[in-house]
Structure 1
Amino acid sequence: MPASITEDIPEPRRRRRSETPAGLGTHAATLVLVAVALALPLMMGNRTPLTLTASQLLLVGGALLAGLLATLPLRGALPPPNRAWLAFGAVFTGTVLLQVLPLPPLAAAFGPYPEGLLDHPEFSARHWSPDIGASLRGWATFVALFTIAWVACGLRASQRNWIWLALVAMALFQAMYGVTAHAAGVDNILGIWGRHNPDFVHGTFSNRNLFAAYLALLWPLGVAVWWIRGMPLLGRLPRELKAAGSIMTAAVLGAALFASASRLGSAAAVVGVLVGLVLWSRHSHVLRGHSVWPVYVAVVAAVLAAAWYGLMPLAERLVATDLEESRLEVFVLMVQEFPARWYLHGIGLGGFEAAFKQIQPAHISGWYDYAHNDLLQWLLEMGLVGGALLLVVIIGLLRSAYLSTERVALYAGLAALALVSLGDFSWHIPATQVVLAIYLGVLLHDRRRRRRRHTPPS
């Protein structure tokens, strides 16, 4: 990763004045993204088709509104996506289109239909995807996340800072609400839904693992937000208050995260913080040394706060022998029972549930609409095309990689969520998806290319 970091070093005043000022449209788009990111976690208290549909409508509607506002013909409007972005969207959209169109030859060749059903005289396979409704909903979510990432990629640092501040505020609310509700023995979420796991902290999320993944994604940002240059409300605070604030934020988030007793979420959070420590330490000479030591203190404070509130539930689950046998068995079934060719051509976006019903044993009960392994499910549903698209994103992140206080926190959170994807389905949850899209959009912004484009000829 390049060693040059300039994000935290004030730029010459002449350069700042020469840049195009932010416009009213992008300011409005920023407010929309903030509103969507704050509202979605509050809607995660009950995972039913109705509530998931409502949250998806909010996600899609908010994303399209933000995209429209950002492109209004006003000063500072964002340019259209470049060819790389458009090609990525076209490949994904074209693949899903083939999966949902009534094309019997493709359905017979690629559809995940059992041979007995295909041989039945009254059945005729018409669609590649076994659930075109799920495929279309998945495509709509992709359009929303694509739009959010593109808008986030084009926002100025001053606008992004408001988004970071809002995200950390929501993470703190989730942590404090979760801890206080658990300590008080409240058996409902916001007075609307009953708690599925009353013995553990899980904020306004129905599932403690989803709650832990959300906090793991935002935990490094909660420490870094105090040190990002130009942060509203926090940027002018004395160094001592910044250090105290970052330590207290990390302690609150860490205590709630560990008190969720989510083994995967807790492990992912620790990995994310370690990634942040490595990156911060490696470039401490540029990131200003005073912005590194609070991270170490914050980690210790988080562990102490968690120990004070109670690490015993997590410890008991860590030493338990029943390591989610049903979840592991699902992974084994997906590898052993599904034909290998399905992972080559894909079975259709959102088709996992319909395909898994064919092999789900009677002793594995429950609603397996997701595989609890986002990476494996993505490859199953989208095949080699999905794998190539994922590789394109990774290459884009590497090509645009450079470090700053802001970016280190995003890389650390992304590392944590990547680990979670190997054993859960947080990448399918709207409250986490919107944060992930914003992270990716910002990290895909190649500052060096933009500067080369605006450099006047000599």
Structure 2
Amino acid sequence: MSADAVTGLLPRNVSMPRAGRIGTLNDVFAVFLVLLVGLAALPLGSNRPFFWAFWPTVLGVLALLYLGLLGVRRAPLRVSLSSVRVVAILYGAVCIVLLVQLLPLGSVYRGGSIASQAGLDLHPPKISTTPGETGLMLLRWLGFGLLFFLTLQVALNPARRMRMLHGVLVAITAQALIGILSYYQWGNTILGIEKWAYLDSLTGTFVNRNSFATFMALGIAVTTGLAVEAATSRSGTTRLAFLASYGTCMVFLVAAVFGSNSRMGLLVSILGALSVTVTFAMASRRRVLRALGVALLALGIILVPVLLFYDTGVWQRFLELERSGQARLDLYRQIIDMIRSAPLLGFGGGSFEQAYQVFHRPPVDVALLWDRGHNTYLTLWSELGLVGGSLPLLLVAAVALKVILGNRGRDHVDPSFSIWIGAVVIATIHSLVDFSFEMFAVSLCFALLAALAVAGALGRRSSS
């Protein structure tokens, strides 16, 4: 296909320079981005302030380097911001809310004085009661934006996009293997360090079993999407080889989910895999039967361990659901009180642990330190206010809509589309009862999958 013909298949706001000029550059940066997401999971899921600053800094350096190299070669951006205008506006609005919370207007904002009852400054100089934490949250969001922007530039090429999806699968499967080996062979440690929490569960290099299980669930969604793609677009021994490889990855991922003893991790793994397949089947009507066949196979791989390991911890924890559910409801009621106290701008990004101390009382266990809200929606509204806290939710919805509209009417559905829908289902459901997507490594993976899906929606063909 000629370059002119290829260019005609792309949206107006998508630029396609000569293939040989930046193809190699994009290949290299694609490897860097996938490697970064995989490495981010290693140091405790990057759930430490150092990594909240470190990874955005690395991404900033990569962005400057990429733009500099494009400038030297006089090559335009592959995708302009105007082609993702709504997404860019919503993302910018989130960053603006965080910046506003750092303004020195704390003495006139009611939320700051309320939080002061917990021992914080009576008249905090900033709107945020914890400006340091808010600044770190802003850094994390800058990291998400840089990762999304760079991925969008390098992933327009469908072959490269598929390689990146395979890279994500390898990274998450490697995390599953680390989790299994750490528990059964390496003395139940985290990177050689003795575990101090969830001693009876697989956590990989994460501390929290639910965050680890959510990371595995994203891997299961990726595996399912790639398996459905192989089943419907490949033939003969090639198809069998790919399906065997994906099946092997699925076994390790499912084993890790069961070993984590995470109830919601298991549930969203199943729902995510089904969502991926149903999305693909609905979008590719001519391949419904094969797609549904792969769905049943994936579901079987997930559910077979139910029969083999029926008495494992995850099922015991399902039996305790009523008791733990009541504790969560009590916690949520108190978080709602927080939201009512500061509905406009919240208590500040990243401030939940400190601000919640004011509202923490029985029946919620006062002997425990609640540093997370165990509901990402309520946490966002308590930290950023009702409007600001809704912006990240609208941002995810805008990306999903962009991807759906971009794939409408196509004969071939890009696997990044169905995988992203599965990831959204996982995030939407799991965030109702836990904080896995507040873990930096999990959120980085989510942002990467989002950018891959948008890139797939913007153009079907590209040689660079």
* Fold equivalence (TM over 0.5): yes
Q: What is the CA–CA distance in structure 2 between the aligned matches of 1:16 and 1:419, rounded to whole Å?
A: 39
Which residue of 2 is the match for residue 369 of structure 1? 371
Paired AA for residue 97 in structure 1: L
Relative distance call for 1:70 and 1:289 in structure 2 (3 A) is farther
- 1:257-292, Cα deviation, whole Å (9 max, x unpaired): 122111111111122122123223324445586455
Which residue of 1 is the match for residue 332 of structure 2? 331
Contact preservation (8 Å) 1:217, 1:269 = yes
1:89 Cα deviation from its structure 2 partner: 4.3
Contact preservation (8 Å) 2:40, 2:46 = no
Q: What is the CA–CA distance in structure 1 between the aligned matches of 2:141 and 2:308, rounded to whole Å?
A: 42
Q: What is the CA–CA distance in structure 1 between the aligned matches of 2:205 and 2:215, rounded to whole Å?
A: 11
Contact preservation (8 Å) 1:223, 1:247 = no
Contact preservation (8 Å) 2:263, 2:317 = yes
1:144 Cα deviation from its structure 2 partner: 0.6
Which residue of 2 is the match for residue 153 of structure 1? 152
Contact preservation (8 Å) 2:172, 2:216 = yes
Q: What is the CA–CA distance in structure 2 between the aligned matches of 1:76 and 1:142, rounded to whole Å?
A: 25
Q: Does the residue aligned with 1:42 lie in a helix, a strand or coil?
A: coil
Matched, 1:356 2:356: yes
Give 2:423's match in structure 1, choosing from 413, 424, 445: 413
After alignment, is 384-393 or 163-172 more displaced? Answer: 384-393
Matched, 1:267 2:267: yes
Which residue of 1 is the match for residue 200 of structure 2? 199
1:238 Cα deviation from its structure 2 partner: 1.0
> Over the residues paired in the alignment, what is the CA RMSD in angstroms?
3.3
Which residue of 1 is the match for residue 180 of structure 2? 179
Percent identity at matched positions? 19
Paired AA for residue 60 in structure 1: P
1:77 Cα deviation from its structure 2 partner: 4.3
- 1:84-141, Cα deviation, whole Å (9 max, x unpaired): 455334433332222112124xx423434239859x9x94342111000011000011
Q: Does the residue aligned with 1:381 lie in a helix, a strand or coil?
A: helix
**Structure (1/2) with the larger helix percentage:** 2
Paired AA for residue 238 in structure 1: T
Relative distance call for 1:146 and 1:45 in structure 2 (3 A) is closer
Contact preservation (8 Å) 1:252, 1:305 = no
Which residue of 2 is the match for residue 300 of structure 1? 300
- 1:71-91, Cα deviation, whole Å (9 max, x unpaired): 232346445533545533443
Relative distance call for 1:302 and 1:81 in structure 2 (3 A) is same
Paired AA for residue 147 in structure 2: I
Give 1:91's match in structure 2, choosing from 88, 93, 98: 93
Paired AA for residue 244 in structure 1: A
Contact preservation (8 Å) 2:221, 2:423 = yes
Contact preservation (8 Å) 2:179, 2:205 = yes
Q: What is the CA–CA distance in structure 2 between the aligned matches of 1:235 and 1:203, rounded to whole Å?
A: 36
Q: Which runs of 5+ in 1 are unaligned?
A: 1-10
Which residue of 1 is the match for residue 171 of structure 2? 170
Which residue of 2 is the match for residue 317 of structure 1? 317
1:209 Cα deviation from its structure 2 partner: 0.6
Q: What is the CA–CA distance in structure 2 between the aligned matches of 1:266 and 1:140, rounded to whole Å?
A: 31
Q: What is the CA–CA distance in structure 1 between the aligned matches of 2:437 and 2:236, rounded to whole Å?
A: 35
- The number of residue pairs the alignment matches comes to 428
Q: Which runs of 5+ in 2 are unaligned?
A: 9-15, 408-412
Relative distance call for 1:386 and 1:280 in structure 2 (3 A) is same
- 1:378-400, Cα deviation, whole Å (9 max, x unpaired): 12222213314532441342143
1:361 Cα deviation from its structure 2 partner: 2.4
Contact preservation (8 Å) 1:346, 1:380 = yes
- 1:418-440, Cα deviation, whole Å (9 max, x unpaired): 21111111122121011111122
Paired AA for residue 271 in structure 1: L
After alignment, is 243-252 or 319-328 more displaced? Answer: 319-328
Q: What is the CA–CA distance in structure 1 between the aligned matches of 2:350 and 2:171, rounded to whole Å?
A: 29
Contact preservation (8 Å) 2:148, 2:451 = yes
Q: What is the CA–CA distance in structure 2 between the aligned matches of 1:62 and 1:46, rounded to whole Å?
A: 13
After alignment, is 143-152 or 169-178 more displaced? Answer: 169-178
After alignment, is 74-83 or 187-196 more displaced? Answer: 74-83
Q: What is the CA–CA distance in structure 2 between the aligned matches of 1:80 and 1:124, rounded to whole Å?
A: 43
Superposition pairs of residues 414-453 of structure 1, within 5 angstroms? 414-445=424-455, 447=457
- 1:323-361, Cα deviation, whole Å (9 max, x unpaired): 2554332112112x3252523432221222221011212
- 1:170-195, Cα deviation, whole Å (9 max, x unpaired): 22122223234333472312213425
1:15 Cα deviation from its structure 2 partner: 3.5
Relative distance call for 1:12 and 1:25 in structure 2 (3 A) is closer
